[in-house]
């Protein structure tokens, strides 16, 4: 049987091109973007030019016409250098574009996909102050009004909020219907009544913007509905299942980046007359970290390939997201330990990766929610 980590020729070429781009174009900007908590605008243009902002968008709409697995490879390689860049590309592809490809009407796809492939960032607005893990306890309301809807409410912790121009917004049309009243809408920046609010000052992935969205009598047309009225919960659930694989890829890339830095450093750092990599105690720690990274890769690739094959992948998505996020934290922590004092200062890259790793166990479904999904499957 061919190992899941074996790549086809086109997958290998994609990985190599994104890795070269990340090293040449992203790495020089990592520290500055982290310190200023701001994405470099020119880098966004370069990501579009590279073709990684519309991986699965058909070529007829200006995209790359690739697979979900291609998106996973892109996110992994970018996150190896900067998880902030990785998550921007991840949300664009695995959440926003996937939702529009699956649920958008032909007219909506024709209107949005060419822009998302060439120049426009998207965001996915589900979370609110009172609906985190309980994602469908939404307070944002969409009231029917003539041939459209008026949206009122607030969204929190929205990735890409500062850069995005297209937002998928989940609101409740009929609160009494529970999750069956939830509907997904496309809202564009500049729509009257819609503003992007506070940008959060975060522990990690600081260059990635995380913002509040405010809706005050924001009117949208019925043609902005994504999917069907009352089917927003289905849009959200199915898209988030895929998004979890993307976060698994982000955490995998982070773990690989931390391990790469650590291996190089332990070969260079000398104590008691020899490189610390020559000590068995260090070697064993590196061996366990390498095992973590490889198992995370197998898990993420397996989930992605299942998705592309049209096979069930819900449990595998939960597993890969959970394991990769924990592996990323362990590997980044080990990196700081083996760097010693240098690992604790910003002049070296591993302290940032340690800060970036923590979010992997929180967003797009906490670790406890992933465990709940896995447990439900094995006990059914």
One digit per residue, the tens of pLDDT, for the chain of length 380 reads 456 788 999 999 999 999 999 999 999 999 999 999 999 999 999 999 999 999 999 999 999 999 999 999 999 999 999 999 999 999 999 999 999 999 999 999 999 999 999 999 999 999 999 887 786 789 999 999 999 999 999 999 999 999 999 999 999 999 888 889 999 999 999 999 999 999 999 999 999 999 999 999 999 999 999 999 999 999 999 999 999 999 999 999 999 999 999 999 999 999 999 999 999 999 999 999 999 999 999 999 999 999 999 999 999 999 999 999 999 999 999 999 999 999 999 999 999 999 999 999 999 999 999 999 999 999 99
Residue with tokens 């390498």: 290
If residue 150 lies in a helix (H) or strand (E), which one and from where to where?
strand 148-159
* 177, 211 Cβ separation under 8 angstroms: no
Are 264 and 218 contained in the same domain? no
Residue 98 belongs to a domain? yes
3-state secondary structure of 186: strand
**CATH number, position 286:** 1.20.140.10
Residue 314: how many other CB atoms lie within 10 Å:
18
Are 242 and 375 contained in the same domain? yes
User: How many distinct structural domains can be found in the chain?
Assistant: 3
Is 364 one of the annotated active-site residues of the chain? yes
Q: Which residue is catalytic, options 77, 128, 326, 364?
A: 364
**CATH number, position 187:** 2.40.110.10
Are 245 and 347 contained in the same domain? yes
3-state secondary structure of 74: helix
Are 159 and 34 contained in the same domain? no
Are 249 and 359 contained in the same domain? yes
Are 166 and 265 contained in the same domain? no
Residue with tokens 């447990």: 375
Residue 1 belongs to a domain? no
Are 219 and 237 contained in the same domain? no
Q: Which domain holds residue 174?
A: 123-230
CA separation for the pair 366, 320 (Å, rounded): 13
């Amino acid at each position: 049987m061919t190992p899941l980590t074996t790549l086809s020729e086109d997958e290998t070429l994609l990985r190599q091109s994104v890795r070269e781009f990340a090293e040449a174009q992203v790495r020089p900007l990592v520290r500055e973007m982290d310190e200023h908590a701001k994405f470099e605008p020119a880098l966004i243009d370069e990501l579009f030019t590279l073709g990684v902002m519309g991986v699965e968008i058909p070529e007829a709409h200006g995209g790359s016409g690739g697979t979900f697995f291609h998106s996973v490879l892109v996110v992994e390689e970018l996150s190896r250098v900067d998880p902030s860049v990785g998550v921007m590309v991840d949300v664009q592809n695995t959440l926003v574009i996937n939702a529009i490809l699956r649920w958008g009407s032909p007219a909506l796809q024709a209107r949005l996909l060419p822009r998302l492939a060439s120049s426009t960032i998207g965001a996915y607005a589900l979370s609110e102050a009172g609906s985190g893990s309980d994602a469908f306890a939404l307070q944002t309301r969409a009231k029917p009004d003539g041939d459209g809807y008026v949206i009122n409410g607030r969204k929190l912790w929205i990735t890409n909020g500062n850069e995005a121009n297209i937002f998928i917004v989940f609101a409740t049309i009929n609160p009494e219907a529970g999750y069956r009243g939830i509907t997904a809408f496309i809202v564009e920046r500049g729509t009257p009544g819609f503003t992007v609010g506070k940008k959060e000052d975060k522990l990690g992935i600081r260059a990635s913007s995380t913002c509040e969205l405010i809706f005050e009598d924001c009117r949208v047309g019925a043609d902005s509905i994504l999917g069907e009225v009352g089917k927003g919960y289905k849009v959200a659930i199915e898209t988030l299942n895929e998004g979890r694989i993307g976060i698994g890829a982000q955490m995998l890339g982070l773990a690989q980046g931390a391990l790469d830095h650590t291996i190089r450093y332990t070969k260079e750092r000398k104590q008691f007359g020899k490189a610390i990599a020559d000590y068995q105690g260090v070697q064993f720690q590196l061996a366990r970290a390498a095992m973590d990274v490889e198992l995370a890769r197998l898990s993420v690739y397996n989930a992605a390939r299942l998705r592309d094959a049209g096979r069930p992948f819900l449990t595998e998505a939960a597993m890969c997201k959970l394991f990769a996020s924990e592996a990323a934290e362990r590997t980044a922590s080990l990196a700081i330990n083996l760097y010693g004092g240098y690992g604790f200062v910003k002049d070296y890259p591993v302290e940032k990766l340690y800060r970036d790793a923590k979010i992997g166990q929180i967003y797009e479904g906490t670790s406890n929610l992933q465990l709940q999904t896995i447990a439900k499957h094995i006990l059914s």
